[in-house]
Amino acid sequence: MIALVFPVVVAAVGIRLPGTIVEGIPLVKIPAGSFAMGSPSGEPGRGDDENLHRVSIPRTFWLGKTEITQRQWTRVMRSNPSAFRRCGPECPVENVSALDVERYLGRLNARAGGGFRLPTEAEWEYACRAGAEASPTATDRSANFDARYPAPGGTPGRYRGRTARVATFRPNTWGLFDMLGNVWEWCADSYGPYPGTPAGRPEGASAPAKRVIRGGSWYFDGASARCSARYTHDPRDRGFSLGFRVARDDR
């Protein structure tokens, strides 16, 4: 296992989040905290399953600075399933099911000494918000999505029609790239309604038939490119806009 430690500068909020590289994957250390998960009733593009509730993230954890790239996938799996292979090795891997991702994580953990996993839905949204209460508004200058159809009230923009290299756009204030757009990102949770109690569970709800994906993609509209937007797929599904980023337990 190769791990290089470096600081991630977050000038917008005046803090520095630690970073590391493990098995060629840059990771950012996400602090423990709590946040309002979901969206207020007036948020443009809001879904009915985004009821606002308080969630605690009790422990620090590491999260991929970018979506897993075709290079990072191929290094472990020795094959590349991506529909957009011509995009290049620094483009996100896609066309992977949640079951494919679990196989990747098993092999990665054998190389790296364990700890890698998918983020929970709550961890993902917490990292997407990066300490802000309001979800950032995606534009064609900040994210790769079908900007011809922005979230309600937004300005139409460019549709690229394919994935883009990771880190093409500016990171959020915690130094994470492409939290919105590019490819949908598999989460660890099965889909279900949010807990109705004032303090929700970080591990989410349980509905085994569907797995949560987050963040929107190059193929989907602006209503999907929001931190609180929830979508689902059967864990066996593959598609040209289905990818992921890794989380790792802090040690």
Structural domains in the chain, sorted by start:
32-249 (3.90.1580.10)
Share of the chain above pLDDT 70, in %: 88
**Least confident interval from 76-80, 85-89, 200-204:** 200-204
Task: Tell me what pLDDT residue 15 has.
Answer: 60
The model carries a pTM of 0.90
209 confidence band (pLDDT: 50, 70, 90): confident
Give how far Cα 95 sits from Cα of 6, 109, 203, 221, 244, Å. Answer: 32, 21, 25, 19, 10
Give the pLDDT confidence of 24-47 residue by residue, as tens digits: 999 999 999 999 999 999 899 999
Task: Tell me what pLDDT residue 4 has.
Answer: 39
213 by DSSP, 3-state: which? strand
One-letter identity of residue 151: A
Pick from 44, 57, 97, 48: which is nearest to 73 by CA? 97
Structure tokens at 79: 């094959």
Q: Tally the C-alpha atoms within 13 A of residue 34's C-alpha that lie toward its C-beta.
A: 9
